[in-house]
Amino acid sequence: MKAIHRVLKYEIFPRQEEQFPLMWEKFFGRSAPLFVEIGFGNGEFLVEWARQHPEGNMVGFEIAMESMERAQKLIHTAQIPNVRVIREEARWGLQEFFAENSIHHVMMNFPDPWPKKRHQERRAINQTFAQILGHVLEPEGIFELVTDQKWYAEAAHVIFNESQFFTVSSIETNPPRPVQTKYERKWRRLGRDIYRLQAHKVASAAIERKILEEPMPHKIIRTPVTREQVVKLQNHQEESGSTFFIVKEIYLAPEENRYLLKTIAKDEDYMQKFFVVITPHRDGWIVKLDTVTQPYRTPAVKYSVYQVAQFLENTAGSSQQ
């Protein structure tokens, strides 16, 4: 168990943090230029990139648990001290975890191109992504895309070329790269072309961060709450602008007068799953977030808590337990 703990010690858990953007000196024990890889796969590129840039602090984003484990084992085996990994959507992480003008280099190796038109909204690179990079990259900071799909590199080139925050170089074919991924080396041996795009930040963009600088939301209800009221919350959903939530499941513990609501909330396209708790309080009842799931404090999360409380207040007296 201790050996596993030593191997899996390179992961950062932003949901446990209170301050955003994150204080990166805390995780690395030093202040240094920040390098970010989006979608690090097995971690091979990230580790070698860190080895060749000991002056930098490397941050990798992935969403697959298996990739997180493989990469951390590789980091531990290589004894590379300047790498940390995060299991989170990269666009969200860039927007919320990094201060303005703080990242030196963002690397994206062979992202899923989602070639079908109906999947276009799933592509990682769009105008919003360019706007976020225009905020978090330092002046003259670099975004680098490497792909085996020429059309994808061309589409990305159009986005960055139209952005007022970047100058973008011509797309390179089979450029020399001191660090390559395993698949890149294989494809080059097979004679498959590789394309690279580099964009340099020339102006700063403004973005709207979503994580709120306030305590976790809660609301006191001074009227009785009945089981019948809570049951009526099943599939209750509300929307306000870009925020949305729905109560998917309800767990009742009447002997403890405690209720758990499995809730899904969205801020624009970022979705979180968590539990809302309804439980007795000295001043009546309290609606709050369960501490186990630890969602980010976003407008949609706050909205869900307050609207659940509002529903219970509005239906007070209309139901009998």
Q: What is the CATH number of the domain that holds 66?
A: 3.40.50.150
**305 and 238 co-located in one domain:** yes
**157 and 287 co-located in one domain:** no
**21 and 131 co-located in one domain:** yes
More confident residue, 124 or 231: 231
User: Mean pLDDT throughout 281-300?
Assistant: 93
Tell whether 208 is covered by a domain.
no
Q: End of a domain among 201, 227, 253?
A: 201
Identify the domain containing residue 109 by its residue range. 2-201
Tell whether 152 is covered by a domain.
yes
User: Mean pLDDT throughout 158-175?
Assistant: 97
More confident residue, 147 or 320: 147
pLDDT of 102 over the 90 cut: yes
- The residue written with tokens 């990094």 in the block is 98
pLDDT of 291 over the 90 cut: no
Q: What letter would DSSP give residue 213?
A: S
Report d(CA 297, CA 14) in Å as an integer.
12
Categorize the per-residue pLDDT at 285 as very low, low, confident or very high, splitting at 50, 70 and 90.
Answer: very high
Task: Please report, rounded to a whole number, the percentage of residues in the chain having pLDDT higher than 70.
Answer: 94
pLDDT of 257 over the 90 cut: no
**181 and 222 co-located in one domain:** no
Tell whether 209 is covered by a domain.
no
**10 and 122 co-located in one domain:** yes
- The residue written with tokens 């994808």 in the block is 152
**115 and 21 co-located in one domain:** yes
Query: How many domains does the chain fold into?
Result: 2
Tell whether 59 is covered by a domain.
yes
pLDDT for the residue numbered 318: 65
CA neighbor of 250 nearest in space, from 303, 298, 297, 312: 312
User: Mean pLDDT throughout 18-41?
Assistant: 96
User: Mean pLDDT throughout 110-124?
Assistant: 75
pLDDT for the residue numbered 321: 43
Categorize the per-residue pLDDT at 184 as very low, low, confident or very high, splitting at 50, 70 and 90.
Answer: confident
**308 and 277 co-located in one domain:** yes
**310 and 167 co-located in one domain:** no
pLDDT for the residue numbered 112: 84
Strand partners, 173: 195
pLDDT for the residue numbered 253: 82
pLDDT of 1 over the 50 cut: no
**130 and 177 co-located in one domain:** yes
Q: End of a domain among 173, 201, 229?
A: 201
pLDDT for the residue numbered 298: 96
Tell whether 280 is covered by a domain.
yes
Alpha helices in the chain (DSSP H): 2-7, 24-28, 44-52, 65-78, 90-97, 127-136, 150-162, 182-189, 227-231, 299-314
Say what the alpha-carbon torsion angle 36, 37, 38, 39 is, to the nearest 10 degrees: -150
pLDDT for the residue numbered 124: 86
pLDDT of 244 over the 80 cut: yes
Stretch among 115-124, 156-165, 245-254, 275-284 having the lowest mean pLDDT:
115-124
Categorize the per-residue pLDDT at 255 as very low, low, confident or very high, splitting at 50, 70 and 90.
Answer: confident
pLDDT of 188 over the 50 cut: yes
Strand partners, 221: 285
**191 and 261 co-located in one domain:** no
**190 and 233 co-located in one domain:** no
111: preceding bond cis by omega (within 30 degrees): no
Would you put residue 17 in left (φ > 0), alpha (ψ -120 to 50) or beta? beta
User: Mean pLDDT throughout 64-90?
Assistant: 96
CA neighbor of 168 nearest in space, from 183, 180, 154: 154
Tell whether 41 is covered by a domain.
yes
Tell whether 210 is covered by a domain.
no
Tell whether 320 is covered by a domain.
no
**158 and 222 co-located in one domain:** no
Categorize the per-residue pLDDT at 66 as very low, low, confident or very high, splitting at 50, 70 and 90.
Answer: very high
